[in-house]
Structure 1
Amino acid sequence: MPYDEQLADRIRHALTGQPAVREVAMFGGLSFMVDDKLSVAADSHGRLMVRCDPDRVDELLERPGASWPEMRGKPMSRGWIVVDDSGTGSDEDLAWWIGRALDHLTA
């Protein structure tokens, strides 16, 4: 299943102005590298995959649409969250999640 192109376009727009953004096919979707660090991805299930502070995972999982990601049926390590469209429906919500990824990159 290909990634959600509309979500990828929204991510591109939200990352406008960030340094050295590039796109890489990864995780069965489209990942966005910021300054050569993986930040977010549009996955093959139409969700946003977010790289985040492992110490904030429990807090972030309480947000609407957030869940623990799995890869090949196994839970991924702390520091990753996926967010379905109920948590990324508005541009403000999407920007908030991308902000958490960017915060982690600069920490």
Structure 2
Amino acid sequence: MAYDEFLADRVRQVLKEKKTPYREQKMMGGLCFMVNDKMCIGVDTEKTTGNARIMARIGENVYDNALKQKGCSEFNITGKAMKGFVFVSGEGIDTHKDLEYWVQLCLDFNPMAKASKKK
């Protein structure tokens, strides 16, 4: 599992500041933070550059606007972009305020997100 532990600690800190219960699960080549048993936000390392980034589950309503933000790009690991999910590179999450913005977008969408089926 390739992810940046410092970035994961930063995400943990924001979730704790927001008093959000979560659990961690290693998946999709990184670390995902599950809120209400649904994938909310993840941390991984971009394979070609080795740079840390987050995967944000923000929903389709804010997706197009999010792509205009600094450091934001499509979530595409299969050759097809997944609307409602984005990657945010280091330049978009450099400050605590930047990271907090993305975490909040994920938390705002979480109540509407569908949970994956239990196996």
How do 1:1-107 and structure 2 match up within 5 A?
2-16=2-16, 17-19=19-21, 21-45=22-46, 46-72=52-78, 74-107=79-112
Name the % identity: 36
Gaps of 5+ in 2: 47-51, 113-119
Q: CA deviation at 1:70?
A: 1.6
Structure 1: which 5+ runs fail to align? none
For residues 42 and 81 of structure 2, the distance between their equivalents in structure 1, rounded to whole angstroms, comes to 15
TM-score, normalised on structure 1? 0.92
CA contact (8 A) 1:4 1:44 kept: yes
Task: Decide which structure has the larger Cα Rg and report it.
Answer: 2
Q: CA RMSD in A?
A: 1.2
Alpha-carbon separation, structure 1, partners of 2:91 and 2:45:
16
Between the two proteins, the alignment pairs up a number of residues equal to 105
Cα distance, 1:68 vs structure 2: 0.3
TM-score, reference length from structure 2: 0.83
Runs ≥4 in structure 1, deviation > 2 angstroms? none
